[in-house]
Amino acid sequence: MALPYGLSAAGIVASINDLYAYLHALNAASIEHGYDRLEDIMLPAGFSGLLSELFVRAVAKQHGHSQPGIARNQRPGGRPDLVPRAVYPGDSVHRGEEGVEVKASGNATSWQGHNPETGWLMVVQVKIDRLTSPVYDRAPTEVLRVLIANLVEADWTYSGRSAESRRTPTASINRAGRDKLSAGTIFEKGRSRGEAPPADVGPPRELEGSAIDARKAVGSWIRQ
């Protein structure tokens, strides 16, 4: 499957490294001033939202010179998160048909949204250590997989709510949608399909620091 809008495996790997570097900087500063890691300060949903936003910005930066190219949606709350350059005025749209929605999740298969969404979806599966004790032995947050697929409404299962219920309506990606995403694996940690690393990325980058700092080397390459 060809990646849309000029996205590349090399750019995604570089975006993962950008995400690690930024988390490292934030957590190092927080710890230096006597506070905890962001992973331990923020509620899980808030931290996942932060990871999604950081990855969106990293992907937009790393693909700034690709063709046709992709940019961060400048509309607050706009969808999708990434839009093809020069398609929408000022790269801003409330709800566009073209682009890529990005979702960071700690789940391996259970991915949800408020409504069934059609179009390109990128799932960034992360591993977050909030349980190891003592806290300074906790592993830094790392990206396990990056998947992408062009989903249709049939790839979702909608769970509404009764008139009396206060539960938030949710839509879950079903087996067909999960199979599409799995087939669109761009990156998977610790796995190789026998392809050499993209030439323009260079060796995996290590960031110095203690285990409490958010840093991990990217060492797996899937495809170009």
Tens digits of pLDDT across the chain (224 residues): 689 999 998 899 889 999 998 988 888 888 889 888 999 999 999 999 999 999 999 999 999 888 788 999 999 999 999 999 989 999 999 999 999 999 998 888 777 776 778 899 999 999 999 888 888 788 889 999 999 999 998 988 877 655 555 556 678 888 899 999 999 999 888 764 444 444 444 434 433 333 333 333 333 333 33
Domains of the chain: 4-188 (3.40.600)
Q: Which residues of 21-47 are buried (b: 16+ CB within 10 A; e: fewer)?
A: ebbbebbbebbeeeeebbbbeeeeeeb
Neighbours of 114 (CB within 10 A): 10
Contact criterion met (CB below 8 Å) for 82 and 60: yes
Output the CA–CA distances (angstroms, integers) from residue 201 to 14, 15, 81, 137, in the order listed: 7, 11, 25, 30
Beta carbons of 37 and 138 less than 8 angstroms apart: yes
Give me Rg for the CA atoms of the chain: 18
What backbone phi and psi angles, to 5 degrees, belong to 86?
A: 70, 10
User: In Å, how far are 21, 52, 176, 182 from 57, measured between CA atoms?
Assistant: 13, 9, 29, 24
